Amino acid sequence: MRSLITGGAGFIGSHLAEQLIARGDDVFILDDLSTGSVENIRHLKSSSRFHYVFDSLQNRHLLAELVDESEVVFHLAAAVGVRLIVESPVRTIETNVNGTQMVLEAASKKKKLVFTASTSEVYGKSDKIPFREDSDLVLGPTTKGRWSYAASKALDEFLALSYWKEKKLPVIVARFFNTVGPRQTGRYGMVLPNFVAQALGGPAITIFGSGQQSRCFCDVQDCVQAILRLVDSDLAVGEVVNIGSNQEVTIEALAQMVKQRTASSSPITYVPYDEAYEPGFEDMLRRVPSLEKLQRITGGRPMTPLHSIVDRVVAYFRNKNAGTVVETERPLPVLVPANTEAEAGGTVAL
């Protein structure tokens, strides 16, 4: 199979490219390197199955050519990270909405399958836990730039599903929940790489807010396996599906886990949201996915424990600091069938 990944030099995109090549696919990536990095894909350049173009989705002729060459399009290109969203709301909205529209338009001409990456952010301030794909979305006021990302990704979903309903373009929409792992940067506010970098380099591990907000962290390789299984299933076409872990951990407990597993002497400090981002910044106390739909379509769900994910990220940063990009090897993950007790979720203990 021939695949196109927009945003393929990014964190998730580079891991997806790896696995597609490993299973024998030809992979094309299109990335403007605004948030992606050549370092993420340098090790793939020696493969005859890997092809890359550093350009913008705004190059319609190039995009049309790459889409035409491909059987499936993985649309991952987006503005990412809370800090980037707060500081550059115009870029966030334009990148997400315009980019998605152009990809769908190009794919629609020959009915190419499009996997569209969305986010748990679209659930907004909903308190209906766990978040189900058919739940209402509860966003904050338009005067809060914080919600521009969620609104833009929700519009991406509307666009994708409209192309499916009106133009019969096969689409799959996936809402990612805090995907983490090697190669993720803390540059735009990603919490785990920031914690690990601070624990290894000091002087302090910094928590924004009270630290009592909880999240569910999914290993990037588990995420990629879920993506591939969804794309291989006819049941996923025209659907919105959560991808993530449902094992909760508070941000404070995550900081303590990182401190413990790095044997760091860095103290843990707290910075109010108003100082970290902008006055009146709003955040969600909990964000937990329902994985029933993912389980039904793919036959499994992500199961990598948080301490293993943290250890891989720590190993990556230590290798990077030592001047090597070798990552901790691990077997290709398998989505594990869920049981009733595990599907209910839980809180990660240290």
Helix 148-167 with 89-108: angle, nearest 10 deg? 10
Check 52, 123, 149, 163 and give the catalytic one.
Answer: 149
Active site residue 52: no
The single residue listed with the structure tokens 């499009």 is 114
Name which of 248, 259, 256, 260 is nearest 348 in CA terms: 248
Q: What is the 3-state secondary structure (H, E, C) of 47-65?
A: CCCEEEEECCCCCHHHHHH
Cα(11)–Cα(9) distance, rounded to whole angstroms? 7
Coil/strand/helix, residue 175: strand
The H or E element containing residue 255 is: helix 251-261
Cα(272)–Cα(95) distance, rounded to whole angstroms? 29
Q: 136-145, long-range: CB within 8 Å, 24+ apart, which pairs?
A: 140/282, 144/280, 144/281, 144/282, 145/85, 145/86, 145/89, 145/278
Q: Which active-site residues does the annotation give?
A: 149
